[in-house]
């Protein structure tokens, strides 16, 4: 074990009552791994109306921090934590992978990594992404703040060291989806849905079209939509066809960083959603989940449950495969990146796209937007044809 000099060995003595029963089963299961002081802190956070998905992320981060502390020092995570523990965590997670292969004590010591792997908290001994380290350190800091404890992050040099270490890590972040799901991919997936003549085909078509056309929704966002959240608006006449297009306004209860975020569907996506509601017989059931479970034959069931985020991800993968696209190249997040990329290539202003996606900062949305504009731009096309016509 590493030297524990200066580390408070006894955790805070706090009540160990469970979190309120409104938490998801995933949160309740994860919370059992934590010591009493951390459970109490997370219980307090519920009273602050923290979204369930955010809380679940904090719980998982806190569980990892607790496991790392035990693996490194052999103790429960102390609150308040000493600055040396914060910096040790930083050194264990941001380091030169090549040096670590030659020296088992460099970076995260091999013994610490083995304990974390055995505890199911680590897959391999390797540097972590700076964003992951930042998130876990933020959770650590938050645990202090909610308890009214002095934060070790204010100690001299701690924040500066974290900033420099994460900035100079050399980590190249991977995209959540290797390829965006653009308009062509979406049409192919909808074709696969049309070939499925069960209710599942209608549901999946409505789901995929709604996620893409309403701004590239995250996979968790459709899961909380109830029929009462879908409202018809006056039709809009299409400038090209002269035909009246149906318009739907959908209030999304679950959107990252926003409450009751309104999105809109027009034309074919709206038709697909209305068709699904009609075929499922739920267009008048305001309290029913829009995207609901079906039985194995694709038929309606009594007391259906709303689809989970995991189920949405599986639907995306299945329809990709049925459309002849390699599922390993895409993920559900590709719907989000695909929408912004398509809008970029069509010359739609980033600010207008952000009104639909709900991105809070231009920096994040611009990662997709700029890539789309560059790929389709004249500059990238300068070298598109290199054949020598004179040769």
User: pLDDT 10s digit of each residue in the chain, 391 long?
Assistant: 444 333 333 333 223 222 233 445 556 567 777 887 887 777 666 655 566 667 778 888 999 999 999 999 999 999 999 999 999 999 999 998 888 889 999 999 999 999 999 999 998 898 998 989 999 999 999 888 877 889 999 999 999 999 998 877 665 555 566 788 999 999 999 999 999 999 999 999 999 999 999 999 999 999 989 999 999 999 999 888 888 999 999 999 877 767 789 999 999 999 999 999 999 999 888 999 999 999 887 777 777 789 998 999 999 999 999 999 999 999 999 999 899 888 888 888 888 888 898 888 787 777 766 555 555 555 555 555 555 555 4
pLDDT value at residue 122: 93
Q: Biggest alpha carbon distance in the chain?
A: 83
Residue pair 77/35 in contact (Cβ under 8 Å)? The answer is: yes
Which one, of 212, 218, 209, lies nearest residue 340 by Cα? 212
pLDDT value at residue 302: 73
Helix (H) or strand (E) holding 248: strand 244-252
pLDDT value at residue 131: 87
Output the pTM of the full model: 0.64
pLDDT value at residue 241: 84
Q: Which domains does the chain have, with CATH numbers?
A: 25-167 (no CATH), 183-377 (1.10.443.10)
Burial (Cβ within 10 Å: 0-12, 13-18, ≥19) of residue 256: middle
Helices (H), the chain: 25-31, 36-47, 52-73, 83-93, 97-102, 110-118, 130-146, 158-167, 183-195, 199-213, 268-280, 309-322, 333-345, 350-357, 362-376, 378-381
Which one, of 297, 304, 265, lies nearest residue 281 by Cα? 304
Which one, of 120, 33, 125, 46, lies nearest residue 77 by Cα? 33
Which one, of 320, 347, 344, lies nearest residue 331 by Cα? 320
Q: In whole angstroms, give the CA distance from residue 245 to residue 103.
A: 65
pLDDT value at residue 4: 36
Place of tokens 């202090």: 144
2, two tokens: 């590493």
∠ CA 84-89-91, rounded to 5°: 95
Q: DSSP code of 146?
A: H
Q: In whole angstroms, give the CA distance from residue 255 to residue 275.
A: 25
Residue 335 CB neighbours (<10 A): 27
3-state SS assignment for residue 263:
strand
HSE on the CB side for 364, CA within 13 Å? 8
């Amino acid at each position: 074990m590493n030297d524990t000099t200066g580390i408070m060995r006894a955790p805070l003595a706090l009540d160990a009552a469970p979190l309120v029963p409104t938490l998801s089963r995933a949160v309740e299961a994860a919370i059992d791994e934590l010591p009493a002081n951390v459970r109490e802190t997370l219980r307090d956070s519920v009273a602050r109306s923290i979204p369930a998905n955010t809380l679940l992320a904090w719980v998982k981060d806190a569980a990892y921090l607790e496991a790392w502390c035990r693996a490194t020092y052999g103790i429960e995570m102390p609150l308040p934590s000493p600055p040396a523990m914060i910096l040790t965590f930083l050194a264990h997670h941001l380091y030169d992978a090549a040096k670590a292969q030659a020296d088992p004590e460099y970076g995260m010591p091999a013994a610490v990594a083995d304990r974390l792997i055995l505890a199911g908290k680590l897959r391999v001994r390797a540097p972590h992404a700076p964003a992951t380290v930042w998130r876990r350190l933020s959770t650590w800091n938050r645990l202090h703040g909610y308890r009214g404890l002095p934060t070790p992050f204010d100690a001299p040099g701690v924040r500066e060291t974290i900033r420099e270490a994460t900035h100079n890590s050399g980590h190249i972040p991977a995209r959540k989806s290797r390829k965006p799901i653009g308009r062509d991919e979406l049409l192919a997936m909808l074709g696969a849905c049309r070939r499925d003549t069960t209710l599942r085909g209608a549901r999946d078509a409505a789901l995929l079209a709604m996620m893409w056309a309403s701004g590239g929704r995250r996979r968790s966002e459709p899961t909380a939509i109830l029929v009462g959240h879908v409202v018809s608006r006056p039709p809009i006449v299409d400038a090209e066809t002269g035909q009246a297009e149906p318009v739907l306004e959908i209030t999304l209860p679950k959107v990252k960083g926003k409450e009751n975020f309104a999105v809109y569907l027009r034309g074919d996506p709206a038709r697909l959603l209305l068709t699904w509601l009609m075929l499922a017989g739920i267009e008048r059931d305001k309290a029913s989940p829009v995207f609901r479970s079906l039985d194995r034959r694709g038929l309606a069931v009594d007391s259906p449950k709303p689809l989970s985020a995991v189920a949405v991800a599986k639907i995306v993968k299945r329809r990709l495969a049925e459309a002849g696209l390699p599922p390993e190249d895409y993920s559900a997040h590709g719907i989000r990146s695909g929408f912004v990329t398509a809008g970029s290539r069509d010359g739609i202003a980033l600010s207008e796209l952000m009104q639909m996606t709900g991105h809070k900062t231009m920096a994040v949305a611009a990662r997709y937007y700029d890539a789309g504009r560059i790929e389709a731009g004249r500059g990238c096309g300068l070298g598109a044809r290199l054949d020598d016509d004179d040769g």
